[in-house]
Structure 1
Amino acid sequence: MSSNTRLQLDMHPLRESLYEEMHSRPFQVIPSPARISHLSVVCSEQQKAEQFNHLQRLCEMLGGDVPAADCPCFQQQFGQLQVRREKHLEFVSYTFIWLGGNHRSPFTETAISQLPIGWLEQMCGEVIAALHMTVEDVREVGEPTIPEVKSYFDEMRLVGSQPSQGAAQIWTSFQMHNDGFGRFLIYNREMSDSQVGRLVQRLLEIESYRHMSLMSLPLARSISPQLQQMDQQLAELTQVMSDEQSEGIGGCDERLLLGRLTHLASRVEAYRARSTFRFNATNAYQDLVMSRLVDLREDEVSGHLTLNEFISRRMVPAVRTCQSTAERLEDLSRRIDRVSDMLRTQVELSIQGQNQELLSSMDRRSQIQLMMQHTVEGLSVAAISYYTIGLVKIFIGVLYDQGLQIDKSLSLGISMPLVIIAVALITRRIHSKFSKLAADPADKN
């Protein structure tokens, strides 16, 4: 049997796409020298669709093949200009690589200067990260001095390192320049084009993910004062409940306290709805940044801070601020739930006490009603007996008028106790039957 024969097995429907996923974002191959411009644009799903249409127009303007369908990673070469577009969960990144330019002036000419006029300005979305990167080959132009490098960054304080055991040298300032872009300068000493591509990709991802990670910091700073205020309000409510219980009085208005707690809980949940995704995204982006920094394998350059040292020094505290705010939100939510449970328990106990008093009152009233019922029963026996004796008297009179020789007074006197006894027995029997029905509703006979 030939080894090329495909096995007739049931394949999982996702198997092929999972293979393709490993190759959906390939590393670039970037020769030295090169000019690179990178943009990370935060946008909605609708804006991503509009950006794809905008990308199609760019391909038409540059005279290249127009993509028919959107994909996670688009890459195409247009002469000396290479265009790469990557879709992420919250943003879309554009990388423009130009293999020309003046090698003596790293940032005078940039890759975006090769784009059609007006195309970039018409892109929808909000730019969160933007930088220019220049890759030089020191084997051709020689390695400049540090003062010369500093002049390329407008005399700003430099951050530099030597990745991959000194195979290259990286310089940046982590600041925006007068054109609104950041700057990275890479001097390639002995890296291959593939290694340069991987290095550039890691640096671009570090810069994009770093900005995305810090997006939650302003939110955390705006929420923190409100959390302090709500924490104080919760402490005051808890103290009111504690004082009322320790004094053994029920003077506090439980409904008012419960209403205030409910208002606090709604505010906390509103803040959680606004911040949970952002804070979780911050943690995820930080992990990506730190892993990319580890991949650089940096060495120090002339006493300058490395990228890892600089980013860790500023980014880690910012991320921990966001984490602390998220933990305070969760803790405040749990404490409000506990206080609400205690207050509801107190309200339920109060209601049970009121119900007990109501039942006791009803029991006393039922006893009074029973006594009144017995009194009414005695009166009803007398009344019924009175009217029954009246009927008996009429009946005796009728018999006497018909010629029956009887003593009307004697007959009436004899019938009176008999009537009273009969009425009393019948009334008691009826009362016993109703009492039995009340004790056993299932017995209706």
Structure 2
Amino acid sequence: MSTPLNQLDVHPLRQTLYNELHSRPFQVLPTRARVTQIAVLTTPEQKQQQFEHLCQLHRQLGYPEPAEDVGCFEKTFGTLRVRREMHMEFASYTFTNLTESEREPFAETGISPLPEGWLAQLAGTVIAAFHVEIRPSSNDAEDDLAYVRQHFEGLRLVGSSPQEGAARVWGTFRLHSDGFGRFMVLNHEMSDSQLGRLTQRLMEIETYRLMSLLALPVARDISPFLNDMDQQLATINQALADNQAVDEPGLLKELSHIAARIEAFRAHSTFRFSATRAYHQLVLTRLDELREDELSGHLTLTEFMTRRLTPAVKTCEAVSERLEDLSRRVDRASDMLRTRVEMAIQSQNQQLLASMDRRSRIQLMMQHTVEGFSVVAISYYLVGLLKLGLDTLYDAGLVFNKSLVLGIAIPVVMVAVFLGIRTIHHRFIRMARRQ
């Protein structure tokens, strides 16, 4: 008999982890549909504003408001489908116009059914905005190409035939007169589910492409400063290599200033460069999933990205690696300079110790000399006291030869004083050794 799960210790995030894989399902799109995606950079404060803005759309269209904000929200309002996905840095809004219309491509878009003025109140900074027109294809590729060219304002087309020819995708990766990008998907034999997955990948490629390029201006701004710091560091290293007489404290101050600037650049750019690598990898993954076939005379999406996007990402990676390399080189130069300063200090300490040793020997010689004078002085005073004592005894009636006794006492007193001073001296030496 199996143990009921509710009697076991279940991880509190288990349900969340299961739901994560299903939080962003692919859309199901009919062959005739107009889709608009807008991606806006979002701060934590703006997320709540966007949710309130979404609730306002429900009120304007006469639908109940959502109970809570979720990572992926999707709602169909008649022929308008709205999908909002929250990402780490941005929120993407996908508006799908399902109205049957025979109007020309891009004459109507995914945002056409929105209430007037609602979109203008959207919080955040727009980073991506483009329309996707989904139409059935004809059996003639040349007719399809002539039809597509009429609706891209004469810009150079990039196109391919993904999923082994099941559809044709066209775009320019440029902004058009309305400020939006444009893509056209001509469906040949895809189901609605396959078409939804294809469109989703196409929108992610465009959005992630733009997000990955956000680091390029940062890299271009940083590069001139890195050149200057590289030259300064090379000059410092050359001076150290040539063993020149340099101002070590001044060089340490200069290296500290360079290190501080590098850390400031790293703090400003590390997240952006890391995000660029992640977004670029997502773009490459989505391109692989398209399984493109080439259309004669046109670059495929993969070829276009490889030729244009990859060099930009490599530039950002090169600047990021250069920052790390400069940081390591500054650390090594600082270590070498500190070692040089420490060796100079040790040399000065050795000279100081030698000077102190010479002074100690001189003081010891002076001490011995003073000790000799001290024996004479103490002996003189003791002999004087002895003479007074002898005079007192002689005056008291004790008869003896004062001069003879005093003469014999003088060397005895001097020897006794000398031995006493030496004993005290050796006692202090023993105390110092024990300490």
* Separation (CA, whole Å) in 2 of partners of 1:145 and 1:104: 17
Question: What's the counterpart of residue 293 of structure 2?
Answer: 299
1:6 deviates by 5.6
Which of 336, 351, 355 aligns to 1:357? It is 351
- 1:210-249 matched pairs, under 5 angstroms: 210-244=209-243
Secondary structure of the 1:393 match is helix
1:299 deviates by 1.6
Which of 258, 261, 275 aligns to 2:252? It is 258
- Asked whether the 8 Å contact 1:73–1:85 carries over to 2, the reply is yes
Question: What's the counterpart of residue 28 of structure 2?
Answer: 29
1:381 deviates by 1.0
Aligned residues: 434
Secondary structure of the 2:24 match is coil
- Asked whether the 8 Å contact 2:233–2:330 carries over to 1, the reply is yes
Instruction: Give the aligned residue type for 1:59.
Output: H
* Separation (CA, whole Å) in 2 of partners of 1:192 and 1:24: 22
Instruction: Give the aligned residue type for 2:289.
Output: D
* Separation (CA, whole Å) in 2 of partners of 1:425 and 1:103: 128
Instruction: Give the aligned residue type for 1:275.
Output: S
Instruction: Give the aligned residue type for 2:183.
Output: F
Which of 300, 304, 313 aligns to 2:307? It is 313
Question: What's the counterpart of residue 331 of structure 2?
Answer: 337
Instruction: Give the aligned residue type for 1:387.
Output: Y
Secondary structure of the 1:426 match is helix
Instruction: Give the aligned residue type for 1:118.
Output: G
**Bigger mean CA deviation after superposition, 52-61 or 371-380:** 52-61
In the alignment, does 2:45 pair up with 1:51?
no
Question: What's the counterpart of residue 155 of structure 2?
Answer: 156
1:302 deviates by 3.3
Would the alpha carbon gap of residues 183 and 169 (structure 1) be closer, same or farther in structure 2, given more than 3 Å must change? Answer: same
1:130 deviates by 0.5
- Asked whether the 8 Å contact 1:160–1:172 carries over to 2, the reply is yes
1:153 deviates by 1.0
- Asked whether the 8 Å contact 2:128–2:207 carries over to 1, the reply is yes
Secondary structure of the 2:243 match is helix
1:400 deviates by 2.6
Question: What's the counterpart of residue 411 of structure 1?
Answer: 405
* Separation (CA, whole Å) in 2 of partners of 1:143 and 1:336: 61
1:10 deviates by 3.3
CA deviations 1:70-128 (Å, max 9, x no partner) are: 21100111111111000111111110111116433111122222222222212221111
1:421 deviates by 1.1
Question: What's the counterpart of residue 424 of structure 1?
Answer: 418
CA deviations 1:16-40 (Å, max 9, x no partner) are: 2111111000001111211111011
Question: What's the counterpart of residue 37 of structure 2?
Answer: 38
Identify unmatched segments of 5+ residues in structure 1.
246-250
Would the alpha carbon gap of residues 143 and 68 (structure 1) be closer, same or farther in structure 2, given more than 3 Å must change? Answer: farther
Instruction: Give the aligned residue type for 1:165.
Output: E
- Give the RMSD, CA atoms, in angstroms: 2.0
- Asked whether the 8 Å contact 1:87–1:93 carries over to 2, the reply is yes
- Asked whether the 8 Å contact 2:137–2:186 carries over to 1, the reply is yes
In the alignment, does 2:322 pair up with 1:328?
yes
CA deviations 1:265-300 (Å, max 9, x no partner) are: 111121111111111111111110011011111122
Q: Give me the TM-score of the superposition, normalised by structure 2.
A: 0.95
- Asked whether the 8 Å contact 1:42–1:91 carries over to 2, the reply is yes
Secondary structure of the 2:404 match is helix
Question: What's the counterpart of residue 135 of structure 2?
Answer: 136
Instruction: Give the aligned residue type for 1:388.
Output: L
Question: What's the counterpart of residue 270 of structure 2?
Answer: 276
In the alignment, does 2:383 pair up with 1:389?
yes
CA deviations 1:133-162 (Å, max 9, x no partner) are: 11113479x995423322211111111111
- Asked whether the 8 Å contact 2:97–2:112 carries over to 1, the reply is no
- 1:67-216 matched pairs, under 5 angstroms: 67-100=66-99, 102-138=101-137, 145-216=144-215
Q: Identity, % of aligned pairs?
A: 57
**Bigger mean CA deviation after superposition, 385-394 or 364-373:** 385-394
* Separation (CA, whole Å) in 2 of partners of 1:132 and 1:437: 94
- Asked whether the 8 Å contact 2:164–2:292 carries over to 1, the reply is yes
* Separation (CA, whole Å) in 1 of partners of 2:4 and 2:102: 54
Q: Give me the TM-score of the superposition, normalised by structure 1.
A: 0.93
- Asked whether the 8 Å contact 1:161–1:299 carries over to 2, the reply is yes
Instruction: Give the aligned residue type for 2:148.
Output: V
* Separation (CA, whole Å) in 2 of partners of 1:416 and 1:12: 101
Instruction: Give the aligned residue type for 2:176.
Output: H
1:60 deviates by 1.8
Secondary structure of the 2:112 match is helix
Secondary structure of the 1:394 match is helix
1:4 deviates by 12
Would the alpha carbon gap of residues 67 and 358 (structure 1) be closer, same or farther in structure 2, given more than 3 Å must change? Answer: same
CA deviations 1:54-79 (Å, max 9, x no partner) are: 21222222222312222110011111
Question: What's the counterpart of residue 248 of structure 1?
Answer: none
Would the alpha carbon gap of residues 292 and 423 (structure 1) be closer, same or farther in structure 2, given more than 3 Å must change? Answer: same
**Bigger mean CA deviation after superposition, 78-87 or 97-106:** 97-106
Identify unmatched segments of 5+ residues in structure 2.
none
* Separation (CA, whole Å) in 2 of partners of 1:6 and 1:321: 52
Would the alpha carbon gap of residues 383 and 5 (structure 1) be closer, same or farther in structure 2, given more than 3 Å must change? Answer: closer
Question: What's the counterpart of residue 431 of structure 2?
Answer: 437
Would the alpha carbon gap of residues 369 and 101 (structure 1) be closer, same or farther in structure 2, given more than 3 Å must change? Answer: farther
* Separation (CA, whole Å) in 1 of partners of 2:367 and 2:120: 95
Secondary structure of the 1:406 match is coil
